[in-house]
Chains A and B, each alone.
Chain A
């Protein structure tokens, strides 16, 4: 029996008459890449928002390791090591690429904010180490050249990568990535796939919402299929490929209206 990183039980959420997620339950094993797929409006992003308590659940429970996330503030959830990215790249405007990366490391800073502001010895040392690490990460993802450019000036693909780097800087135990490949071209997507595998191999559990099937099938250990708020299938990529209900969800009916 593998250890479970994230357990979701009977998650239900309604917006007025619309059932966004309906009794969804699943487990994400430690050290795996779990992909969440489904047509537009299936409730994938809503599910992320429910896990990280951006929305309040009507019913259901989320456990991260041993901890029930209950009504915990999003910032507390991040502090536990569960870090997410957003569907549209949400780099911080008015900050350079490097500053964005460093902002992701907020939780790893140990010195008191006042010591940081005064640049006292410990804080100075900490900042130096952090900058070196941030630069190394930018190097790793090929964004080194953009170090001092306003992050909002980066091409979309680079902004999506920056989102992932920023999340990694928080030293998460588990990453929730919301459509990291949206807006990437084929070669960038392939790089992202390699990066996801590398992230998993470094011991970080990954859950990813994705539309790009080749990416999903290439990196996922487990695939969950959501349709109209219900979990309609789960299994290995091969099993999902054979599953008729999934094929139906994607091809057999019109896509649901409304944004994800």
Chain B
């Protein structure tokens, strides 16, 4: 009985933290209509800042806490003012979501560069000795957590419900255009909500730091939990955020306490999916139906990025020639990086089809790499399967998983699909770590053989290189044709306007599912090749960081351009190899480049280059007196 109360209490404590996180999400969502995935990272920033102020600069706990909160809030305000808020009036919702992935990566990378990758814990605020009340032991920090959560919740509620400022914030979410007409400075309100959310996150981080250990990438778990809580409770609902947080916290602790933490992850994912299916608007959401066109949404705009005609053929032939002779020109270290570039690019092609062409955001693509990688590696290493049949088995398993995930999430749109895939990726992560007997756990799976087909084994980097290049060329030719066909028109129509696509009879759900399955199979193939190439596979090689990294590669290279992401992939893979000191800043650079790309190069490196080449061609043509017909083909 005491254990039960103990566990329940733990759940309430955890729930209180989740509730605070969820409030942060809810706040930003209500004002901007965007889920800010960088939210959880502010918790970690604040906690680590407090740690440094205390242990390095010798501040007392109270001023250290105040300093950390002020610093984090200022950081949030700066980040919001320079990236998030200006982007709101430039980018459609799906890109905004990816921008926040970029911000999350950027902050995680900055933390990694400043504090390194080791775990940190803060000393408790008021001693370690547990207080015993009616036989139940409570750590003093628990009182701090509950007390702070109550204060934060009540204060925020008073601000939102009782003040003019609160009314202005809510007006921005209901109808930004009308709010603007009423003299409300919408941009300022958006920035205010972003900043308030970072403050709430920072408070949560400082409170929880004494009872958990924090690492540079713990932020994404906070993001995931807070996001889940708010999705379970109801996106725009204040009570929902709190209820969702508590429910999630208690469920997690009970499942972890009585079964295992692995089961707990699976159970919370299940809880989320059931909620989304049963009550898509969350358990506590108001039931009034809302006109879907009430919120003005930025339409997806994009330029046509494409080279065509004999010139394009010439460029392609030259590029292929370069790629074929490359292995003879570089060192073996760079050659290995090139093979990795190629392997990752296979997965990124799938991601481009899914995100760039069909407009579906997946934050868990590396989950399929893990499924493919571990399936083929385990079968080949422990069960003497041939690598090829292992790869096929992995692809089949990924296909099944993708179909199940998309059947469950079929009716979910945009942000919910992204959430489901993030949760899926984290679940696969924890399975890879937890199923130690099969996967080797955190230390990884060793002794994976080389890839082979029949009697030929691809043992050298050079042979792997040509294998991967061959695969990529075949895939690019196939998908280039696919994009130009009726199938390609249908998925691009879905991306930009699913309502109009449906009005022309496109079976939106089926096409989305097909593309999701294709992207999963490609990721699976890449995961398998990755394991065979390294002869080793560990959870972090195919974890959520990898999912985020691949999104960065896609965005930097150029979404929806098929070949473009190769440049993003090569850039992010080769830079750390060529400039070793750069490795520490890799994650931060990834995030920064991604945020910059959204802001300044919406068509990515490749798209920008193509636009430039096309403009030059037009200029030459018009110089030759062919202006009129040339201009018509020009890019906007």
Contact = CB atoms under 8 A, between A and B. Distances in A.
Interface in A147-174: 148-150, 152-153, 166-167, 170
A106 interface: yes
Contact of B505 (A78, A86, A114): A78
Contacts of B293: 259
Interface string B491-522: 01101110111111111100000100000000
B53 to A, nearest CB: 49
Nearest to A259: B293
Nearest to B304: A150
Given A75-B508, A92-B493, A84 B304 contact: no
Nearest to A96: B304
Contact of A92 (B496, B633, B635): B496
B383 interface: no
Interface string A205-242: 00000000000000000000000000000000000000
A219 B290 CA distance: 36
Interface stretch (B35-43, B449-457, B482-490, B543-551): B482-490
A94 B503 contact: no
A78 B500 contact: no
Interface stretch (B206-214, B295-303, B460-468): B295-303
B303 A150 contact: yes
Given A74-B499, A83-B504, A94 B303 contact: yes
A116 B485 contact: yes
Contacts of B486: 102, 106, 109, 113, 116, 123, 127
B299 A118 contact: no
Contact of B503 (A15, A84, A114): A84
B481 interface: yes
A96 to B, nearest CB: 7
B291 interface: yes
B490 A103 contact: yes
Contacts of A116: 482, 485-487
Contacts of A83: 503-505
A99 interface: yes
A90 interface: yes
Contacts of B514: 113
Contact of A78 (B299, B300, B503): B503
A106 B510 CA distance: 14
Nearest to A45: B293
B632 A119 contact: no
Contacts of B481: 117-119
B569 to A, nearest CB: 22
A129 interface: no
Contact of B299 (A52, A93, A150): A93
B632 A149 contact: yes
A78 B504 contact: yes
A63 B289 CA distance: 25
Contact of B489 (A55, A86, A93, A106): A106
B502 A74 contact: yes
B572 to A, nearest CB: 25
A92 B492 contact: yes
B322 interface: no
B239 to A, nearest CB: 20
A3 B369 CA distance: 58
Given A95-B492, A107-B505, A54 B499 contact: yes
A252 interface: no
B636 interface: yes
B86 to A, nearest CB: 21
B496 A104 contact: no
Given A116-B487, A123-B485, A152-B301, A93 B496 contact: yes
B478 A117 contact: yes
B390 interface: no
Contacts of B632: 145-146, 148-149
A68 interface: no
- Centre residue among B290, B299, B487, B506 by max chain A CB count within 10 A: B487
Interface string A66-84: 0000000111001100011
Contacts of B497: 90, 92
Contacts of B135: none
A93 B359 CA distance: 13
Interface in B622-636: 632-633, 635-636
Given A84-B503, A92-B497, A106 B490 contact: yes
A113 B487 contact: yes
Nearest to B484: A119
A152 B496 CA distance: 12
Interface in B272-305: 288-293, 299-304
A106 B500 contact: no
Nearest to A147: B632
B560 interface: yes
Nearest to A85: B503
A119 B500 contact: no
A92 to B, nearest CB: 5
B302 A15 contact: no
A93 B603 CA distance: 13
A116 B489 CA distance: 11
Contacts of A54: 292, 499
Contact of B478 (A93, A96, A106, A118): A118
A148 B309 CA distance: 13
Nearest to A111: B486
Given A94-B302, A117-B485, A103 B503 contact: no
Nearest to B301: A93
B380 to A, nearest CB: 30
Contacts of B302: 93-94
Nearest to A80: B505
Contacts of B485: 113, 116-117, 119, 123, 127
A10 B299 CA distance: 34
Nearest to B631: A149
Question: Which of A75, A102, A114, A259 has most chain B Cβ within 10 Å?
Answer: A75
Nearest to A112: B487
Given A75-B508, A79-B505, A106-B489, A92 B303 contact: no
A123 B301 CA distance: 30
Given A113-B486, A113-B487, A94 B492 contact: yes
A107 B289 CA distance: 32
Contacts of A145: 632
Contacts of A104: 504
Given A86-B503, A102-B489, A150-B304, A94 B560 contact: yes
A123 B486 CA distance: 9
Nearest to A99: B489
A240 to B, nearest CB: 29
Contacts of B496: 92-94
Interface string A104-144: 10110100011011110001000100000000000000000
Contacts of B493: 92, 95, 103, 106
Given A15-B289, A102-B486, A109-B486, A153 B503 contact: no
Contacts of B501: 103
A81 B577 CA distance: 58
Contacts of A84: 503
A94 B288 CA distance: 36
Nearest to A46: B291
Nearest to A15: B291
A52 B500 CA distance: 11
Contacts of A74: 499, 502-503
Contacts of B636: 150, 152-153
Contacts of B505: 75, 78-79, 83, 106-107, 170
15 contacts: A75-B505, A78-B505, A79-B505, A90-B500, A93-B300, A93-B301, A93-B496, A94-B302, A94-B495, A94-B560, A107-B504, A117-B481, A117-B485, A148-B632, A152-B636
Q: 4 tightest CB-CB pairs across the interface, nearest first? A: A117-B482, A78-B505, A107-B505, A116-B485
Given A86-B503, A104-B504, A118-B481, 4 more contacts: A96-B304, A107-B504, A117-B479, A127-B485
